[in-house]
Amino acid sequence: MLPPTPDPLLRFRDEFPILATTNYMVSNSLGAMPRAVSERLADYAREWATSGVRAWAQGWWDLPIRVGDEIAPLLGAKPGETVMVPNVSIAQAQVLSALEFVPGEKDTIVMTEMDFPSVKYVTSQLGERFGARVVVVPSEDGVSVDEERLLAAIDERTALVSVSHVLFRSAYIVDVARVSRRAHEFGALVCLDAYHSVGVVPVDVEVLGVDFLTGGVLKWLCGGPGGSFLWVRPEVSERLAPAVTGWQAHSHPFAFDPDMSFAAGASRWLTGTPVIPALFAAAVGPRIVREAGMDAIRAKSERQTARLVTLADGRGFPVTAPRDGRRRGGTVAFDVPHAREVAQALLSRDVIVDYRPGAGIRVAPHFYSSDDEVESVVGNIDEILAQETWKRYTLQQSIVT
């Protein structure tokens, strides 16, 4: 028999300290911190301590655009088109605040039951405040988006189609290009929440045909909290005036002009003072992901998630993740008996996964995960069930991961 082929992506393991002490299978929630983030945060503190207010002119002011340029290649976007924002909820609010809804004519936002709650809340709260009608397409199975129903919901009245690329509940990959084609046939714009794809599933705004894309570095990009991004198609961007705005979006921010005059390019999507420490941390992970290469990351993810599905099937654990690898993102959720307690027992063994009611245990290997670690998650579950050690956790509160 041939010896197993070495996995070239494992060369990045040393960059992530937590991999030395845990089996880290939770990159769908919080990606592992790259070692170099400590130095970048120390740089931030040093610049503040030594430059004081001069730090703004020495690079802090432009940071949301410069970090956006580090993300852009992972979106298939060009430099100067992506801006960093504090979170996706704000990015989605900015998009909605820039649109016109004409009652009875072009007033409808189409989304799906499977979108992330925060996006749903912002869309219903702000959309309805701005006079939009929000149509939510239900999911037949609680796993996928019924794409025929979604397409059928898009018509002349649709102003915006707001969908997820990879569903957070099941890792189902939506055929976004098809949705965009239909939306554009009816003159509607498309806003994509790509939080669960960028960094683990290749993303190209041209292939997907979207007009807005939101996401964050927190999960698959290993960039920590506070680093979310908004990309807007330049031709669309230049004709929009977001009402959720701020002085950084002004063409002459230091003129303190009483009237708004939007800056050119991605800067028009800035708001107020950026979250500088988060931006210092944010770019390290995306750089490593770019170096690892999205095609290699995706091929490995498809292989390891397929293995997890096989291991779960072999034990009769119901699997939520799509079986077709081309339609499956980076996470495999499966239910096991006493799943909440089993997840706690896994954490106590330094096997870091998360548990969600209705989905079960979610396992998310990433490019730095070894095949042995993938096997070991299920091996540990076997032991916890056979030895009944899950019983120790019946009264404990679940830990949010």
Ligand X SMILES: Cc1ncc(COP(=O)(O)O)c(C=O)c1O
Q: Which stretches of the chain bind ligand X, using CB under 6 A?
A: 87-89, 116, 118-119, 164, 168, 193, 195-196, 216, 228
- Closest approach, Cβ 91 to ligand X, in A, equals 8
Least distance to ligand X, CB of residue 47, Å? 26
How many residues are there in the chain? 401
CB-based contact 313:323 (threshold 8 Å) = no
Cα distance between residue 300 and residue 303, in whole Å = 5
Q: Which two tokens stand for residue 313?
A: 């099937």
Min dist. Cβ of residue 219 to ligand X (A):
7
Distance between CA atoms of residues 253 and 241, nearest Å: 16
**Which C-beta is closer to ligand X: that of 118 or that of 370?**
118
Question: Where do the DSSP E strands lie in 148-296?
Answer: 158-164, 189-193, 212-216, 228-232
Contacts of 50 (CB under 8 A, 6+ apart): none
The distance of closest approach from Cβ of residue 282 to ligand X in the complex, given in angstroms and rounded to an integer, is 13
CB 57 to ligand X: min, Å? 29
Looking at the Cβ atoms of 232 and 384, the one nearer to ligand X is: 232
Q: How far is the CB of 381 from ligand X (least distance, A)?
A: 24
Structure tokens at 175: 């055929």
Nearer to ligand X, 119 or 288 (CB): 119
Select 163 or 294, whichever has its Cβ closest to ligand X. 163
**Which one, 9 or 276, has the nearer CB to ligand X?**
276
CB 224 within 8 A of CB 37: yes
Amino acid letter for position 381:
I
Phi-psi group of 9: left, alpha or beta (phi > 0 → left; psi -120 to 50 → alpha; rest → beta): alpha
Query: Given the complex with ligand X, which of 168 and 280 has the nearer CB atom?
Result: 168
